[in-house]
């Protein structure tokens, strides 16, 4: 896929909700291919920890592939943490990673997921 496709994915997802903090497309080696960050926010992770997070996502994506034949491919993963919620979607060998404000109610999270799915499936 071209960089403009990754940028389209990030910008489309970022526009879904004002509660979305960050959208990034992470490559299979943990590299950030494109992103969109809410400008007024201070990132929760510094540059070094961001790199570690993206490397972790790439490794996890690679490992999850072993179970695809038996369980089916992952459509999305939703994590709730103390300070933020994240969802991630597989797009070929890349992963779209979205962080969302912690205070968002579950129905808004489900709405975000439902709107994201057709965007990422278009490129999967």
| Strand 84-91 with 94-101, pairing | antiparallel
Percent of the chain with pLDDT over 90: 52
Confidence band of 119 (pLDDT split at 50, 70, 90): very high
Q: How far apart are CA 57 and CA 69, in angstroms?
A: 20
Evaluate if residue 122 carries a pLDDT over 90.
yes
pLDDT digits (tens, 9 = 90+) for 51-103: 667 666 666 766 676 677 788 888 888 989 899 999 999 888 889 999 999 99
Which of 4, 14, 31 shows the shortest CA–CA distance to 100? Answer: 14
If you average pLDDT over every residue of the chain, what do you get? 86
Q: For the chain, what is the total number of helices (H) and then of strands (E)?
A: 4, 5
pLDDT of residue 63: 63
Domains and CATH numbers, the chain: 3-123 (3.30.450.30)
pLDDT of residue 66: 67
What average pLDDT does the segment 31-44 reach? 85
């Amino acid at each position: 896929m071209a960089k403009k496709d990754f940028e389209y994915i990030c910008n489309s997802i970022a526009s879904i909700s004002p509660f979305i903090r960050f959208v990034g497309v992470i490559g299979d080696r943990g590299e950030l291919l494109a992103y969109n960050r809410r400008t007024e926010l201070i990132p929760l992770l510094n540059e070094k920890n961001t790199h570690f997070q993206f490397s972790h996502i790439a490794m996890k994506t690679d490992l999850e592939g072993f179970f695809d034949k038996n369980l089916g491919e992952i459509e999305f993963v939703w994590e709730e943490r103390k300070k933020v919620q994240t969802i991630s979607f597989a797009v070929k060998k890349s992963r779209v990673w979205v962080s969302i404000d912690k205070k968002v109610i579950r129905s808004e999270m489900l709405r975000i997921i439902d709107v994201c799915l057709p965007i990422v499936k278009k490129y999967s």
